[in-house]
Structure 1
């Protein structure tokens, strides 16, 4: 996967501003923020592709934005027993997925049947399913929200991962009214309704 810094993400956003891609990646990023607690954002790929890169970007975004719920858990197909705890989370974690947690499936190729079965089980137990894929109708039918990135399109799968993770960490800036209300509160003290 290519390395992409903040300036490159900004340039990519400018290039895609007139397309639907920017809005769709922002929607998916916002959907990831619905996770309720740190570690409840489960990121899983396929047996041949572990989404390390997007997981690392989500961890960075969680730290930079102060949105602890974005702290991801990388779920691996075959984690080595001697791996550090955070890299030893296996597919059994998907069996424990519950309401308030989000399963983010990142799969450029078609999801294998065992993954689809686990995604379906997680959905039945109340987890929110988000998919970033290369055009997998079976996976998309299980997802609450999905974004398909075709291999021959203007946006690469790698670029989509960067845009989604960056969008997940975007914290909405308060509007003028909110800023004025905070300023007034600092000057006059908190408002008390009797």
Structure 2
């Protein structure tokens, strides 16, 4: 991620700190990172009119900078030109070859067309993990194991901004979750206070 993107994410985090969006995008990013189990196993697809170039680039950057090869996505395209480089020539037939253990990440600000919904449904039946970042498409979200919805009228977070937050959080080191023992230890420290010799 370049410094402009990093600055944008920092500003977004500041603006959204009390809105709940940081928690939602962070939770979704953890699910995304956890679903990407092996290099090449994260498939990224959009709609015929909206290929998720930005998300592909951001995830690829996070993968490279943070040494998480499984986070680098395979961009699946509706009509890749035959003269495109191999990594930009992956067509929809790749979705027909999806297998258990892979993840399909659908980024669709607009309503998903029926052919996309059918392919997502087939991938889910095959055993792939389905993640969606969408603008409120209930049919698409209904097929997802994990969904993040950014409604079109959301004033605080744009669809592009959500992509920035998700990709940055997916590349961040996992935060240590505090278990019951940690919480009890902190509670006991507060109750008992510092130990002193009489």
Normalized against structure 2, the TM-score is what? Answer: 0.84
How far the C-alpha of 1:172 sits from its partner, in A, is 2.7
- SS of 1:105's equivalent in the other structure is strand
Cα offset, 1:37, TM superposition: 0.8
* Deviation (angstroms), 1:30: 1.0
| Whole-angstrom CA distance in 2 between matches of 1:64 and 1:165 | 12
How much is the aligned-residue C-alpha RMSD, in angstroms? Answer: 1.5
Residues 98 and 125, structure 1, Cα contact 8 Å, conserved in 2: yes
- 1:58 maps onto 2:62 in alignment: no
The C-alpha deviation readout for 1:81-137, integer Å capped at 9, x for no partner, is: 111000000001111111221111000001000000000000011100000000000
Larger C-alpha radius of gyration, 1 or 2? Answer: 2
The alignment partner of 2:133 has SS state of strand
For the 8 Å contact 1:4–1:162, the answer to whether it is kept is no
Distance 1:135 1:173 in 2: 29
Q: Does 1:129 align with 2:130?
A: yes
The answer (yes or no) to whether the contact 1:62–1:169 under 8 Å persists in 2 is: yes
Cα distance, 1:25 vs. partner? 0.7
After superposition, residues 149-168 of structure 1 pair within 5 angstroms as: 149-153=150-154, 154-168=156-170
- Asked if structure 2 preserves the Cα contact closer than 8 Å seen for 1:131 and 1:145, the reply is yes
Show the counterpart of 2:143.
142
Deviation at 1:65, TM superposition (A): 1.1
Alpha carbons 1:77, 1:90 under 8 Å: kept: yes
Alpha-carbon distance in structure 2 between the residues aligned to 1:110 and 1:4:
30
Give me the whole-angstrom Cα distance separating, in 2, the residues matched to 1:127 and 1:173. Answer: 26
Are the structure 2 counterparts of residues 156 and 121 from structure 1 closer, same or farther at C-alpha, using a change threshold of 3 Å?
same
Pairing 1:1-194 to 2, within 5 Å after superposition: 5-34=5-34, 35-153=36-154, 154-172=156-174
| Count, aligned residues | 173
How does the TM-score come out when normalised to structure 1?
0.86
Aligned-pair distance for 1:8? Answer: 1.2
Tell me the secondary structure at the aligned position of residue 15 of structure 1.
helix
Kept in 2: contact 1:65–1:169 (CA 8 A): yes
Q: CA deviation at 1:4?
A: 5.1
CA distance in 1, matches of 2:110, 2:4: 22
- The structure-2 alpha-carbon separation of the partners of 1:174 and 1:136, relative to structure 1 and needing over 3 Å to count, comes to closer
